């Protein structure tokens, strides 16, 4: 019995792939946001963290009953 089932592994892989794409996009966009106000930069980071955490918490968990 694996510790992490296949559906959960697929979800984790998808999130990590999306996170990798996001990091790449932020790296490209950082050049354009060089003179962006600090308050807005901090707000964007906070929103990013909230979205990542909520994507894990909101993901529907399959319950196995009667097995």
Percent of the chain clearing pLDDT 70 (strictly above): 73
Does 65 reside within a domain? no
How far is 60 from 9, CA to CA, in rounded Å?
Answer: 14
Does 63 reside within a domain? no
User: So what's the pLDDT on residue 66?
Assistant: 54
Q: Domain residues for 30? A: 6-58
pLDDT band at 63 (very low <50, low <70, confident <90, very high): low
Does 25 reside within a domain? yes
Does 1 reside within a domain? no
Question: What is the number of domains present in the chain?
Answer: 1
pLDDT band at 37 (very low <50, low <70, confident <90, very high): confident
Look at 18 and 63; give whichever has higher pLDDT: 18
Alpha carbon 37 to its chain centroid, in Å, reads 24
Residue 4 is classified by DSSP as: S
Does 21 reside within a domain? yes
Does 64 reside within a domain? no
Q: Is the dihedral of CA 11, 13, 19, 25 positive or negative?
A: negative
pLDDT for 61 beyond 70? no
């Amino acid at each position: 019995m694996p510790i992490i089932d296949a559906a959960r592994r697929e979800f984790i892989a998808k999130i990590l792939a999306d996170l990798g794409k996001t990091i790449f996009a932020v790296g490209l966009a950082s050049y354009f946001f060089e003179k962006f106000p600090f308050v807005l930069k901090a707000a964007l980071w906070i929103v990013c963290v909230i979205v990542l955490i909520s994507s894990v918490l909101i993901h529907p968990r399959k319950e196995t009953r009667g097995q």
